[in-house]
Amino acid sequence: MAPFSWSKDAEGEAITYLLSGRVDESSDFEPLLRELKDEVIFDLAGIERINSSGVLRWGRFIREVSQRVQDLRFVRCSPVIVSQLNMIKDFSGKAAIESFYAPYVCEECGAESTALLDVTKDREQLETRRVPSRRCDECGHDMVLNSLEDSYLGFLDQEPGEA
């Protein structure tokens, strides 16, 4: 598993920072922190793992980010990030969560996949604690969320915090 890294993609007024790898005791957020201004989007699809030391480092980092920027958004949150959002209060600081990956499984053939869900576009279903339906690419049957929906989608009840 790769160590924490980041790159940026500047389009429009907000800059998207693509974060990837593992977040742990060796993760250095300082160079990234120096880059951040006004409107920031963190693309978190590449975050593969976060250990307890990484959670502490992330917490300090996100508090600082929340104080420095006016608009903070998380997009393409990996299942690892969703897990942390559900377990740790203020894991997102003042960030608005715009999209996240949901793990699906086919109960017929056992195939697994992930689907990107948009919090705004899929709002109606997500508010009822249901994920949009998805067909299995392998056998064509309906897939289900590979987690308890209430638990996996719990982070959607949280309002962005004030750091």
Distance, CA of 23 to CA of 52 (rounded, Å) = 9
Instruction: State whether CATH 3.30.750.24 applies to domain 5-102+149-157.
Output: yes
Does residue 162 have a pLDDT over 50?
A: no
pLDDT value at 163 more than 70? no
Average pLDDT over residues 116-127: 93
In the chain, where the domains are located:
5-102+149-157
Q: In the sheet that 142-145 helps form, which strands lie side by side, from edge to edge? A: 112-118, 99-106, 142-145, 134-135
Q: Hunting for tokens 């576009």 — which residue is that?
A: 121
pLDDT tens sequence across 7-65: 998 776 778 999 999 999 999 999 999 999 889 999 999 999 999 999 999 999 999 99
What confidence score (pLDDT) does residue 117 get?
97
Percent of the chain with pLDDT over 70: 97
8-12, 92-96, 114-118, 141-145: least confident range: 8-12
Torsion of CA 73, 56, 161, 159, to 10 degrees: 70
User: How much is the pLDDT for 54?
Assistant: 97
- The pLDDT score that the predictor gives to residue 105 is 97
pLDDT at 89: 87
Interstrand relation of 112-118 and 71-75 (parallel, antiparallel or unpaired): unpaired
Whole-number pLDDT of residue 104: 97
Q: Nearest CA to 100 among 161, 153, 41?
A: 153
